[in-house]
């Protein structure tokens, strides 16, 4: 497995763990608490930081395990990256319409914030899944 | 994308045979000469990735042969 494929897998795994936990926690709270009483801001920022740290640690570990591969970014990596970005961008673009509509109808700020984060996460997940599939099945 | 076939390109190649003819050059050796990852060499050999024209010429140059000795377009069976 090439360095960039390892990064794609670790980013995908980190996202599912971190944001799975975040959305589970916040949406569970929303089920039995008025949303304007939920202090989601601190948790959201904390989870984003945790996610970034996980991705960086995974990249460092992958580079230490196989330093030679970490130096190589070739044309296939760049093509796969472009395809991932293209799919991720499309998903993000579509997903961001949800918070836009929520803002238009004066929804609670809580829901707008969750919808923005969800659009960002879904866009990134789509990007990483596309890359992993391209690495596995071919471009 | 969307095709079930294992191969994702119509380009076939003889890299595996050419490596064998060149003192058993390994995939890692070829990758290192080309400056790409070993996985990219594997993907090209398996027809899962079509290299750029530039890299295709570089591969032919490594083996000292013409481009069409290394790569050729598969027949129509790959089309449907």
Q: Is A69 helix (H, G, I), strand (E, B) or coil?
A: helix
**What number is the average pLDDT over the span B57-78?**
87
Q: Is the CB of residue A132 less than 8 Å from the CB of residue A8?
A: yes
Min Cα–Cα distance to chain A from B78, Å: 15
Give the model's confidence band at B75: pLDDT under 50 very low, under 70 low, under 90 confident, else very high. Answer: confident
In chain A, which residue's Cα lies nearest the Cα of B8?
A138
Among the partner-chain residues A72, A135, A139, the one whose CB lies closest to the CB of B36 is A72
Q: Is A134 helix (H, G, I), strand (E, B) or coil?
A: helix
Q: Which residues have CB under 8 Å from A105's CB, separation 6+?
A: none
Of A9, A6, A20, A24, give the one whose Cα is nearest residue A50: A20
Q: Taking CB atoms and an 8 Å cutoff, what residues of chain A touch B47? A: 138
Min Cα–Cα distance to chain A from B62, Å: 17
Pair of tokens at residue A39: 């202090």
Give the model's confidence band at B7: pLDDT under 50 very low, under 70 low, under 90 confident, else very high. Answer: low
Q: Is B12 helix (H, G, I), strand (E, B) or coil?
A: strand
Min Cα–Cα distance to chain B from A79, Å: 10
Report residue B5 CA to chain centroid gap. 18
Rounded Cα distance between A77 and A57, Å, is: 21
Location of structure tokens 């471009």: A139
Ramachandran category for residue A66: left, alpha or beta (phi over 0 → left; psi -120 to 50 → alpha): beta
Strand intervals (E) in B1-80: 11-13, 71-73
Mutate to test the interface with A, among B4, B26, B39, B54 (most CBs of A within 10 A): B39
* Calculated CA dihedral for residues A101, A126, A73, B61, nearest 10 degrees: -120
- Tell me B13's DSSP state: E
Min Cα–Cα distance to chain A from B22, Å: 24
Per-residue pLDDT of chain A (139 residues; tens, 9 = 90+): 889 999 999 999 999 999 999 999 999 999 998 998 999 999 999 999 999 999 999 999 999 998 877 878 899 999 999 999 999 999 999 999 999 999 999 999 999 999 999 999 999 999 999 999 999 988 8
Of A8, A102, A24, give the one whose Cα is nearest residue A62: A8
Binding-face residues of A in 23-82 toward B, CB within 8 A: 69, 72, 74-77
* Calculated CA dihedral for residues A117, A123, A126, A132, nearest 10 degrees: -90
Of A115, A127, A91, give the one whose Cα is nearest residue A11: A127
Q: What ipTM goes with this model? A: 0.80
Q: What are B11-67's pLDDT values in tens digits?
A: 899 999 999 999 889 999 999 999 999 999 999 999 999 999 999 999 999 999 999
Give the model's pLDDT for residue A67: 84
């Amino acid at each position: 497995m090439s360095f960039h494929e390892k990064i794609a897998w670790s980013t995908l795994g980190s996202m599912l763990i971190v944001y799975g936990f975040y959305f589970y926690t916040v949406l569970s709270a929303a089920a039995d608490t008025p949303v304007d009483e939920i202090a989601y801001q601190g948790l959201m920022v904390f989870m984003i930081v945790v996610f970034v740290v996980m991705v960086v640690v995974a990249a460092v570990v992958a580079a230490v395990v196989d330093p030679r591969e970490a130096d190589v970014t070739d044309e296939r990596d760049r093509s796969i990256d472009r395809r991932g970005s293209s799919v991720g961008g499309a998903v993000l673009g579509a997903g961001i319409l949800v918070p836009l509509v929520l803002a238009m109808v004066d929804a609670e700020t809580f829901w707008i914030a969750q919808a923005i984060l969800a659009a960002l996460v879904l866009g990134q997940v789509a990007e990483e899944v596309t890359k992993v599939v391209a690495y596995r099945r071919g471009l | 994308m969307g095709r079930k076939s294992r191969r994702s390109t119509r380009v076939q190649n003889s890299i595996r045979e050419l490596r064998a003819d060149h003192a058993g050059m390994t995939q890692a050796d070829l990758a290192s000469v080309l400056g790409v990852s070993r996985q990219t060499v594997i993907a090209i050999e398996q027809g899962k990735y079509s290299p750029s024209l530039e890299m295709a010429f570089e591969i032919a140059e490594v083996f000292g042969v013409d481009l069409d000795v290394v790569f050729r377009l598969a027949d129509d069976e790959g089309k449907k």
